[in-house]
Amino acid sequence: MSGATRTRIGLFVLFHALYALTSSGNAFRIPDEFEVYFQTEHLVDAGDLSVPQAQQIIQPVIVDGKVVGNQSLFFGRVGLDGKPYAPYGPLAAVLAVPHHLAGRALASVLGIRRVPQGQGLAWVMFVGGITMLATATAAALTVVGFHRAAIALGTPAGPALWLSLMLGGATVLWPYGTSFFTEAYLAAAMVWAAALLLEARTAASPASRVIVAAALLTIAGLTKVTSLIVAPAFVAAVLADRAINTRARWQVASVLATGIALGACLQLGWNAYRFGSPFEFGYDWSETIPVPPARAFVLSELPRGLAVLLFAPGKSLFVWAPVLILSVLNAAKLWRRDPAFTAGAATAVGLGLLVYGAYLFPEGGYAHGPRHLVPIVPILALVAAGPDASGWSRTALLSCAAVGMLMAAMASRVSYLEDQALRRDQAGRPVPGYYEIIAPSQGRPNNRYRFEYMPFATAMSTPGWKDSPVLGQGPDYFYRHMQQARRQLPDGPSIPASFPIAWVAWWSVILLAAAADVFRQSQDVSANPDSSSRIS
């Protein structure tokens, strides 16, 4: 086993254990999580991606402090076949199926029985928590792909390892490895596509790497179609690469463009199959957009959107991924050494900022950090890599790591929904918090991200938050939610009392063992810098 392979195995185990240990395990916060879980569950149960479970979740409607009725939490549309469908890509659920099956198997071994809805939710909560580990796996694979790409860029072994550790433990990738959003899948697909394309430059048979990279872009598009907004950056990077001849550049670019187009066309076909129109994605904005139809992108709102994504304390890309400060400082050097990759990264961030800055919700809705930009954070972090990465000072690395680790660790501790949910006073009037209520222009939402929002402050300042016995509230860890479920759910006692302790112990041991191994490898690299710089 080469040094590089051993390093990547160590990184995968280390971060998978970290993300699993700090996983929320609560997939039942907003539709972006619970409807994807329901898709997965119903796919295994009935063989299709509809979400009838979501229609059965009812919440009260409060007006002027009084309950005036009830409404379903279903977010989506009813399809041509009469079934309710969520507005998410078809692969979002498929990618979680292996972990979901593992959750069902573990529940069976532990004696946690599935009972009809209304009689208990212990099985659903437990299996949902295990299913969520799919994103932990994806985020850990993202770190591995980043290391592989960094080495392919010519980064020395030591800096490649340290930058990989910063990506996994000191950026917004960490909280997305502990939630059930799709961003971790997208980040993995994109950074692995980048790694394969970088390796294809020097590979004896580059075609297979190019084809797999194109397939990964297709997968990203079928997981979340908006990920294709930044996908042209891969084509731009290839066309800018003067190190290969013109014909080869256009061939590779054509393969990548085909992969992107295939992802878009299959999604449009999925829309047509469900709703009868390729351009009907299933989003229902009636709750937040008082004057339809929705206007998803408005350029006049771009300046404010850019300010949110770059400067707002709760959403700034640089606050949630401080390693990108190093990328900015290193961009000119990498441009001189590798203008093709740098052009691709610049295209990705340019498209991301331009499109999402003008989007309905530039901040990404209820979520930690700049959610829409998470998939390209590993690509942008690679700009801090390259042959010059060995010149980073310890002070610069530690400073960025400290800020990033603080934000990521706190985000894994505090549920974004508990901290950001739209609050109302006793009369039912909105209270300024994460959002502020505004009088919008036609087609735009009536709630807008509030610049003054400070992450984690609302939840952690709530009296009794740390010791909250309420299911799903308090420190946002799977083992705690299982303890709460045991006490509160009718079938909660079916969850073994020892499970939360065993869960923490299992992942803690793996985490410590992997951390020790990675530390030994870093010492070996310091003693012999070239020992793991070869691509395996």
Q: Over the stretch 79-135, which tens digit does the pLDDT of each residue have?
A: 999 999 999 999 999 999 999 999 999 999 999 999 987 778 999 999 999 999 999
Cα–Cα dist 52/376, whole Å: 33
Mean pLDDT along residues 202-215: 95
How does pLDDT run across 462-472, given as a tens digit for each residue?
899 999 988 99
Spell out the domain ranges in the chain.
3-23+133-413, 31-131
pLDDT at 77: 95
Mean pLDDT along residues 418-428: 76
Least confident range of 61-75, 100-114, 151-165, 496-510: 61-75
76: left (phi over 0), alpha (psi -120 to 50) or beta: left
pLDDT at 532: 43
In this structure, which amino acid lies at residue 493? P
Higher-pLDDT residue of 428, 291: 291
pLDDT at 524: 78
pTM assigned to the model: 0.94
Q: What is the largest CA-CA distance in the chain?
A: 70
DSSP 67: E
Residue 505 has pLDDT above 50, yes or no: yes
Close Cβ partners of 297 (under 8 Å, ≥ 6 residues apart): 355, 358, 359, 360
How does pLDDT run across 269-296, given as a tens digit for each residue?
999 999 999 999 999 888 789 888 889 9
pLDDT at 66: 53
pLDDT at 69: 52
Residue 72 has pLDDT above 80, yes or no: no
pLDDT at 57: 76
Q: How far apart are the first and last CA of the chain?
A: 9
Beta carbons of 198 and 153 less than 8 angstroms apart: yes
Residue 1 has pLDDT above 70, yes or no: no
- The share of the chain scoring above pLDDT 70, in percent, equals 94
pLDDT at 534: 40
Least confident range of 189-203, 421-435, 487-501: 421-435
Cα–Cα dist 422/161, whole Å: 41
Higher-pLDDT residue of 72, 536: 72
Cα–Cα dist 436/65, whole Å: 19
Cβ count within 10 A of residue 393: 8
How does pLDDT run across 180-190, given as a tens digit for each residue?
999 999 999 99
Residue 212 has pLDDT above 60, yes or no: yes
Mean pLDDT along residues 184-200: 98
Residue 533 has pLDDT above 80, yes or no: no
Mean pLDDT along residues 16-28: 97
Cα–Cα dist 81/50, whole Å: 10
pLDDT at 285: 85
pLDDT at 4: 87
Residue 12 has pLDDT above 70, yes or no: yes
pLDDT at 243: 87
Residue count of the chain = 536
DSSP 11: H
Residue 60 has pLDDT above 90, yes or no: no
Mean pLDDT along residues 308-320: 96
Radius of gyration of the chain from Cα atoms?
23
Distances in Å between the Cα of 239 and the Cα atoms of 206, 208, 276, 339, 527 are 16, 19, 37, 11, 39
Higher-pLDDT residue of 535, 224: 224
Cα–Cα dist 215/258, whole Å: 9
Mean pLDDT along residues 444-458: 92
Cβ count within 10 A of residue 248: 14
Least confident range of 51-60, 332-341, 480-489: 51-60
Least confident range of 205-219, 307-321, 454-468: 454-468
Higher-pLDDT residue of 46, 60: 46
Q: Determine the 3-state secondary structure of 474 from DSSP.
A: coil
Residue 251 has pLDDT above 70, yes or no: yes
If pLDDT is split at 50, 70 and 90, which confidence band does 68 have?
very low
If pLDDT is split at 50, 70 and 90, which confidence band does 529 have?
low
What DSSP letter does each residue of 384-418 carry, written as one string?
A: G-SGGGGG--HHHHHHHHHHHHHHHHHHHHS-HHH
Residue 268 has pLDDT above 90, yes or no: yes
What are the start-end ranges of the H helices in 338-477? 339-357, 377-381, 394-413, 416-420, 457-460
Cβ count within 10 A of residue 496: 14
Cα–Cα dist 59/30, whole Å: 13
- The share of the chain scoring above pLDDT 90, in percent, equals 82
Cβ count within 10 A of residue 339: 16
Mean pLDDT along residues 154-164: 95
- Mean pLDDT of the chain, nearest integer: 93
